Structure 1
């Protein structure tokens, strides 16, 4: 029977070609949507790595006229003490501008253990950095006051970078290099920090390293992370703003809340998924209409054939099953071509996603297309089964 159906479809390949292309395009878009959605969900269920709920960010620019490092150190250390002295401040610390959930990124190439890792995220913070964010050390330690006076090159890496370079072995006490930068060669790893999803809930925790801030950093620092009491309100925010405005005359002061930044970043991340979903919905509607149209056309063109089959004893169910099977075989042609292209993604490691994401997306896309084709072909098949042999042969 299947051999006969294949012959029927092949003989009408010109009529079915447009439908095959539509199903193929829908399958590829669905594959992309499912892959994006599965990967986003896998990232979403993983912990974000920090306690951001009551963390604020103070953004400012250095409006001080003096460029003397000692004077800047005294001023900014005094400013941080004044912020910490406020009754509703739990902790505070200086940070590089690429705070969590911001669009600012700093990357570098790292080499160690005979491996080179490009695009490693670079963060900088003081001794209060992980306490403000609520991050946890998995091995080794964070920076202390003695480290900021030391001339030795030291760093803290996250667990993702540690596994990429050193695997399951211990990374504390080992060394890495900043690409071709000889001034940062032989940088010692003193600790491994837990993975933090700086790019929001739906992005994975990328390979990262955290550098210490020395006294020279006050020339370019523009961010302070502040962990506040849950009861901190708008009135306290106003007092904090006035403290910064009075300390830094003619400076642009901006207060941001990390929870609000996370919501905004998540919306930005989901835009591609929403766009692809709209395109997929449009293509699915076209495919559904195409299947209805093709089968309806076939029924009207083949009324004589259907009537003859019914007259010689074919049941209505067999006629209906034939039309449904033809639609499923047409879909199979499209899926074979689409699956060929889809399997290239895990083989070539496109977009650096796990192979399981692509394989699951492939299975879901195939299942969705078959269900769609089955649903869209059932009603035309039922209409074909309801054709009376005498009426069809009389019309013929």
Structure 2
């Protein structure tokens, strides 16, 4: 495009700058929101897709609550687990104090040395027996599984801990960053300032109950079952058997002892959906907002371009009568929109970075990756040019004879 064309375009914009400024601001705001929204959506989707370590599609859990003075928690737990494990279609089952991704559980701090002044590493704690790894579908990377002799019952108000533990690979790296996982086995860790536990094994992956926790992959398994009236069983089934066994085992366990109730029968997939419900809602809202803003911006560009075409119809006809081609008329309005969009996108880059800084400060989100900004610039540039093409094409169809008409 020559300077002879660029000059008239700029002069025309300066004479009618209000509309151009409003569209540029609209483009800037749209870019600011879209780029940060896309970044948040990608971040949230990545969080939602984190592997829990469980065989989620084939795992469910239920809660059994006994009542009455004659209810024997230990005996019922042992008999329940034997019944469940021997049920056709069940791979394995455990009694456990908390469920991954459920939002409720036990946590503690572990340190590599005793003493109050030693900084601890946060971890979730699951109280399990020697069937836990098979039930969780966890891979033992180093060391050994618990043996039946390692398992104890935890009584109400009991505060001491077993002297053995199995931890996740992520927790092992946080506790002993300089060691390989094979070297971590046999190391002593401390809970409650000075109570020692020996690491017996390391598993590949298992998630804590709190999906928003920074230490989601920090999990400790301790060899104990709870002698409580209310207990939770985690059950892993063969593929395709989960839903059938949820119904049949609920009924079987309910009939096994009359002085108890079975409740909260739920799949791990349903638990995941509930835990990430806010993330899903945020993604849907941000997606709808982005689509709406893009449409509004495109309509604004179309409106301004159409207004300029209608206002300059006689001028366009004159240019056509003087020999201007249709391509030249289209180019004129496309370049005019490009200039407006460029100002808006330059302002949008600054606003995008500023908004991201505020989100980091207020909501502790991660810093925006650099490539989101040029991607947003290209996207809105394409949207702007596509929106302007329709009015520009209509302008090119104006007849040169219009120049001879009076208004």
TM-score by length of 1: 0.78
- Provide the aligned length of Structure 1 versus Structure 2: 386
- Residue 102 of structure 1 is matched in structure 2 by 102
With over 3 angstroms needed to count, the CA separation of the structure-2 counterparts of 1:385 and 1:133, relative to structure 1, is same
- Are 1:282 and 2:283 counterparts? no
Provide the rounded CA distance (Å) in 1 between the counterparts of 2:26 and 2:207.
38
Q: Is 1:135 the counterpart of 2:145 in the alignment?
A: no
Separation (CA, whole Å) in 1 of partners of 2:10 and 2:175? 53
1:20 to 18, 24, 35: 24
Q: Secondary structure at the match of 1:50?
A: coil
The aligned counterpart of 2:35 is 31
Matched, 1:335 2:345: yes
Further displaced range: 127-136 or 80-89: 80-89
Alignment correspondent of 1:53: 57
CA separation of 1:109 and 1:273: change in aligned 2, threshold 3 A: farther
Partner of 1:207: 217
Q: Does 1:82 align with 2:86?
A: no
Deviations 1:307-327 (A, max 9, x none): 444444433222222211222
Task: Report the Cα offset of residue 371 of structure 1.
Answer: 1.7
Match of 1:125 in 2: 128
208, 227, 235: which one aligns with 2:236:
227
Where 2:57 maps in the other structure, the secondary structure is coil
Deviates most, 247-256 or 201-210 = 201-210
Aligned partners of 2:224, 2:270: CA distance in 1, in Å? Answer: 30
Q: RMSD across aligned C-alpha pairs, in angstroms?
A: 4.1
Q: 1:271 to 1:66 in 2, by over 3 A?
A: same
CA pair 251-23 structure 1, distance change in 2 beyond 3 A: same
Distance in 2 (CA, whole Å) between partners of 1:263 and 1:133 is: 19
Write the deviation string for residues 20-58 of structure 1: whole angstroms up to 9, x where unpaired: 332233223322442244335556776553222322212
Shift, 1:381, TM fit: 0.9
- 2-structure distance, mates of 1:13, 1:380: 19
Question: Could you list the runs of 5+ residues in structure 2 that have no partner in the other structure?
Answer: 153-159
SS in 1 for 2:53: coil
| 1:378 aligned to which of 389, 392, 407 | 389
**SS of 1:253 mapped into structure 2:** strand
1:275–1:3 CA distance, 2 compared to 1 (3 A): same
Q: Say whether 1:73 aligns with 2:65.
A: no
Q: Match of 2:405, SS?
A: helix
* C-alpha distance in 1 between matches for 2:204 and 2:167: 9
Taking structure 2 as the reference length, the TM-score comes to 0.76
